[in-house]
Chain A
Amino acid sequence: MSLSELYQEVMMDHYAHPRNCGTLENPDASWELHNPTCGDLIKVEVALEPGDKQSERVVKDIRFSGQGCSISQASASMMTQLVKGKRLSEAREVLERFLSMMKGEDGDFESLGDAQALQGVTRYPVRVKCATLAWHAFEKCTGRLAEGDE
């Protein structure tokens, strides 16, 4: 495992040119997470298309903001790209697949697109938290939204 495998080009591209970076005016859900080991902070905001059942509503827009290292910022960018346009139930599947990959589990992660580039992070255990920060913030958002279905 070399540094260039960790810091793959696609990841550096997301870091240098983050997608969906910013804030939303009227999000349906938002969540802020700190990484206590480094003081990093990521906020994820989600806006949904109208719909009756929460889990079937489509992620109309999603933004992230805050500060962090290349891995956490790139990962946030990839996450927003992946879940935008998906129904919440599908977005949750993506989330679970990503977290499974970051745990080092076997599986087919092709559907994760650019985010597959983060698989190398599992070889640097202390950085896994950086890679999963935005995903956990999104998980909190979906949890908050799912309360509407109960």
Chain B
Amino acid sequence: MNPLVAGLNRVGARQLDTERIKKDFPILNTKIRGKSLVYLDNAATTQKPIQVVNALSSYYLESNANVHRAIHDLGARATELYEGARERVAGFIGASKPSEIVFTRNATEAVNLVAYAWGRRNVGPGDEIITTPMEHHSNLVPWQQLAGATGARLRFIDLTPDGRLDMESFYRLLNERTRLVAVSQGSNVLGTINPVAEICRAAREAEAVVLVDGAQSVPHMPVNVASLGCDFLAISGHKMLGPTGIGVLYGRADLLEAMDPFLFGGDMISYVHLETAGWNEIPYKFEAGTPNIAGAIGLAAAIDYLEGLGMEQIESHERQLVKLAMHRLGELGYVEMHGPAGDRAGLISFNIKGIHPHDVATVLNEEGVAIRAGHHCAQPLMEWLNVPATNRASFYIYNDEEDVDRMVQAITRVKEFFRHVIV
């Protein structure tokens, strides 16, 4: 074992048994260009364990029916599974009741739901929305649109040179006109973990609402809405072993109650006349049409899997890997890494001087190593970093030290391959 990792182990929590975990992910046996796959694009989407795939297939093969409307037993069974998934999510993030959990298509839809259903009613001319330059486009563009439609103003928290939020700048921005603070708990590019609990405390005093984008944090660390004190939390299912097409909006019950629906149609109504209609209770008034029943059930299976490993163990495992990877990449001497050096989420964005990230990722792919190259849906942050794009390696429960080795080796191959063109 690498001495750096061994040193960490002494203080770390129980280790993840990656060898056993890998067996639950058959896709990891795939050969890419003749080499075994090293999957390091987990911040984009994670792989799915057999347990999640089985939950989907047994739902479709044994319990498939529409929810909330059938008299027959099968419908009752599907409803029970779907509502059971809602309870599972509520418990996982510490929501006080299942009705605070709205199933959406993805985290993006969760943010948009708030921007429309809460924003159009609660934000007006001269009001201010505070966000950050490190947001994913999904937690920025909906607020740009809301500001444009209502005459509100967007304010941005400054970043420190190493890519953390400058909290003094936040406190300067926060005022009686602030209606909303929209902030990611984990940056999908910098790996920064933002002090969300502190932001929520201050915002509450200023009577502003806080939406936390949990797409990059909920899959990787314990997140509890009660201890964070957030009003809304957006979650992505497919970034935490779940299927694609399922996301979650957590919303404080009193806020959800006061919001108008975002989509209209079946299942979200309590009555309909030819000219008028009334809305169902929360969360159903936000779930128009037949929902992604299988997706919710798959997400619940993913949560079972993650909790079986332990969220604290997952967090500590990823931190050790990222620490090792940063150490190894630092040793190479030609890799520029972005984001804070200390405590951070399990991903690293980096650039190799003179070599475009696309070229780096193509060479790595040839070695079977899948990383992301691009702007990561965070173009304003690319401007801040002053690069057109970055490479990003993001780790998860099945990654191990050997994966870090394979990535580092592949990067030395990039350097070798492009040695004639590097200025």
Residues of A participating in the B interface, judged by any CB pair closer than 8 Å: 2-3, 6-7, 12, 15-16, 37-41, 67-72, 124, 127, 130
- Do A16 and B358 touch (CB < 8 A)? no
Q: Quick one: given A38-B357, A68-B356, A70-B421, are A3 and B388 in contact (CB under 8 Å)? A: no
Of B177-185, B254-262, B374-382, the one touching chain A: B374-382
Name the B residues within 8 Å of A2 (CB-CB).
Answer: 366
- B373 close to chain A: CB less than 8 A: yes
Q: Quick one: given A38-B373, A40-B388, are A69 and B420 in contact (CB under 8 Å)? A: no
Name the A residues within 8 Å of B373 (CB-CB).
Answer: 38
Name the A residues within 8 Å of B359 (CB-CB).
Answer: 7, 69-71
Q: In the complex, given contacts A38-B373, A69-B358, what are 14 additional A-B residue pairs having Cβ atoms less than 8 angstroms apart? A: A3-B417, A6-B362, A37-B374, A38-B389, A39-B374, A39-B388, A40-B388, A41-B388, A68-B356, A70-B355, A71-B359, A124-B362, A127-B358, A127-B362
- Do B388 and A7 touch (CB < 8 A)? no
- Do A16 and B362 touch (CB < 8 A)? no
- Do B374 and A3 touch (CB < 8 A)? no
- Do B417 and A16 touch (CB < 8 A)? no
- B363 close to chain A: CB less than 8 A: yes
- Do A7 and B358 touch (CB < 8 A)? no
- Do A71 and B358 touch (CB < 8 A)? yes
- Do B366 and A38 touch (CB < 8 A)? no
Q: Tell which of B357, B366, B421 touches A3, judged by Cβ atoms closer than 8 Å.
A: B366
Q: Quick one: given A40-B388, A124-B362, are A70 and B375 in contact (CB under 8 Å)? A: no
Name the A residues within 8 Å of B363 (CB-CB).
Answer: 3
Q: Tell which of B355, B389, B421 touches A39, judged by Cβ atoms closer than 8 Å.
A: B389
A9 vs B131: C-alpha distance in the bound complex, in angstroms?
47
Residue pairs across A and B with Cβ atoms less than 8 A apart, 27 shown, are A2-B366, A3-B366, A7-B359, A12-B421, A16-B420, A16-B421, A37-B374, A38-B358, A38-B373, A38-B374, A38-B375, A38-B389, A39-B388, A39-B389, A40-B389, A41-B388, A68-B356, A68-B388, A69-B357, A69-B358, A70-B355, A70-B356, A70-B359, A70-B421, A124-B362, A127-B358, A130-B358
A68 vs B387: C-alpha distance in the bound complex, in angstroms?
11
- Do A38 and B421 touch (CB < 8 A)? no
A70 vs B355: C-alpha distance in the bound complex, in angstroms?
8
Name the A residues within 8 Å of B418 (CB-CB).
Answer: 70
Name the A residues within 8 Å of B366 (CB-CB).
Answer: 2-3
Q: Quick one: given A3-B363, A16-B420, are A39 and B382 in contact (CB under 8 Å)? A: yes
Name the B residues within 8 Å of A6 (CB-CB).
Answer: 362
Residue of B nearest to A41 (CB): B388
A37 vs B358: C-alpha distance in the bound complex, in angstroms?
10
Name the B residues within 8 Å of A38 (CB-CB).
Answer: 357-358, 373-375, 388-389
Name the A residues within 8 Å of B382 (CB-CB).
Answer: 39
A6 vs B418: C-alpha distance in the bound complex, in angstroms?
13
Residue of B nearest to A39 (CB): B375
Query: What mask results when residues 128 to 159 of chain B are scored 1 for a CB within 8 Å of chain A, else 0?
Result: 00000000000000000000000000000000
Query: What mask results when residues 318 to 360 of chain B are scored 1 for a CB within 8 Å of chain A, else 0?
Result: 0000000000000000000000000000000000000111110
A101 vs B52: C-alpha distance in the bound complex, in angstroms?
43
A124 vs B366: C-alpha distance in the bound complex, in angstroms?
11
A3 vs B420: C-alpha distance in the bound complex, in angstroms?
15
Name the B residues within 8 Å of A69 (CB-CB).
Answer: 356-359
Name the B residues within 8 Å of A68 (CB-CB).
Answer: 356, 358, 388
| Chain B, range 360-398, C-beta contacts under 8 Å to A | 362-363, 366, 373-375, 379, 382, 388-389
Name the A residues within 8 Å of B420 (CB-CB).
Answer: 12, 16
| Nearest 6 Cβ contacts at the A-B interface | A69-B356, A69-B358, A39-B375, A16-B421, A38-B374, A67-B388
Name the B residues within 8 Å of A3 (CB-CB).
Answer: 362-363, 366, 417
Name the B residues within 8 Å of A127 (CB-CB).
Answer: 358, 362
Name the B residues within 8 Å of A71 (CB-CB).
Answer: 358-359
